[in-house]
Amino acid sequence: MNTQKLQSPANMNDMKSRMEKAAEMKDEDKLYRRDGILYSTVLSPPETMDKLKDLQAREDDLILVAYPKCGFNWMVAVLRKIMNASTGKDEKPPERPPLVEFLPPDVQEKLAEMPPRRLLGTHLHPDNMPATFFTKKPKILVVFRNPKDTLVSYYHFMNKNPLLPNAESWDKFFSDFMTGDVSWGSYFDHALAWEKRIDDPNVMIVMYEDLKQNLPEGVKKISEFFSLPLTDEQVSSIAGQSTFSAMVENSQKSHGNFGSIFFRKGEVGDWKNHFSDAQSKQMDELYQAKLAGTKLAARMNYDLYCQ
């Protein structure tokens, strides 16, 4: 491996070279702990995370937030299509996913030069996001997914993504997820943090399962939330291009060889093929202890999707 190539900033900004770098690392070096939470050593090193405190959000930014594996990349694609259709522009997606915690400090600085409206995303817990995501009051779209399917999706992602260590086993990953000892932290801590903000007019929470059920309605609601009006034809065209099968078909073009990492099954209920009865019960108990009775739980429809 040509390390000089990997160290040059231009190449370090490139996802492919960072994946190559991670592929050469030992699994135990791929994550590090910061304030108790695990992050990717290659993508979110301390200097990148430190720099986030300077990030200046703007009121007209589109902020997309999702705990890992809840449908972030799906919504990135939907949002880009909404932005293009509503503004009549044909902006090509940048090479890098719009996750602020993946942007090296020099690239974070360049965000200031980006014309409006910017799409900024993150998997971070609200407490660890740039403060201006809240003080400047940009609109924030949050995607959630039932915890059982999120766990299954995360498990497969660990084993396919060279940036993350392989899951030692299904049972080990299951218990790490339950205790929150996975990258970006505990699903339940994220959910409880958004529960506190669920009535904030600048926050809209959408559920993966609802989007699967009725994508045109989701596209319409999201476009209205961001004040990016669409015609009915545009709504149905965007929904048609954003189904799992349509996105998989286009994935070689949109994600190159990484397509198979981001698109796996795209279904609701795959947890039934993975969880033992005891694990299912354990998750039900954790859900009861942490989330039952919350507004977010009512939106999540846990009984329907997780029983």
Catalytically active residues, by annotation: 123
Site residues for ligand A3P, window 250-279 (CB under 6 A)? 262-266, 270
Give the integer Cα–Cα distance in Å for 118 and 192: 27
- If binding is defined by CB under 6 A, does position 287 make contact with ligand A3P? no
Are 156 and 264 spatial neighbours (Cβ–Cβ below 8 Å)? yes
* C-beta of 51 vs 167, nearer to ligand A3P: 167
The least CB distance from residue 212 to ligand A3P, in Å, is 6
The least CB distance from residue 230 to ligand A3P, in Å, is 18
Token pair 């705990």 is found at: 67
Angle between helices 147-160 and 187-195 (to 10 degrees): 130
132 Cβ contact partners less than 8 Å away, ≥ 6 residues apart: 55, 56, 57
Are 121 and 63 spatial neighbours (Cβ–Cβ below 8 Å)? yes
- If binding is defined by CB under 6 A, does position 70 make contact with ligand A3P? yes
- Quick one: which of 22, 64, 103, 247 contacts ligand A3P (CB under 6 A)? 247
CA-to-CA separations, 245 to 156, 217, 258, 264, in angstroms, rounded: 19, 18, 16, 11
Site residues for ligand A3P, window 203-242 (CB under 6 A)? 242
Give the integer Cα–Cα distance in Å for 161 and 23: 9
* C-beta of 51 vs 68, nearer to ligand A3P: 68
- If binding is defined by CB under 6 A, does position 73 make contact with ligand A3P? yes
If one counts every other C-beta atom within 10 angstroms of the C-beta of residue 241, the result is 14
- Quick one: which of 72, 133, 271, 275 contacts ligand A3P (CB under 6 A)? 72
- If binding is defined by CB under 6 A, does position 153 make contact with ligand A3P? yes
Interacting span for ligand A3P (CB under 6 A) from 72-80, 109-117, 130-138, 276-284:
72-80
- Quick one: which of 156, 197, 221, 290 contacts ligand A3P (CB under 6 A)? 156
The least CB distance from residue 150 to ligand A3P, in Å, is 8
Strand 119-122 versus strand 62-66 pairing type: parallel
- If binding is defined by CB under 6 A, does position 32 make contact with ligand A3P? no
Positive or negative: CA dihedral 230, 232, 234, 238: positive
What is the greatest pairwise CA distance in the chain? Answer: 54
Can you give the binding site for ligand A3P, defined by CB under 6 A? 66, 68-74, 149, 153, 156, 242-244, 247, 262-266, 270
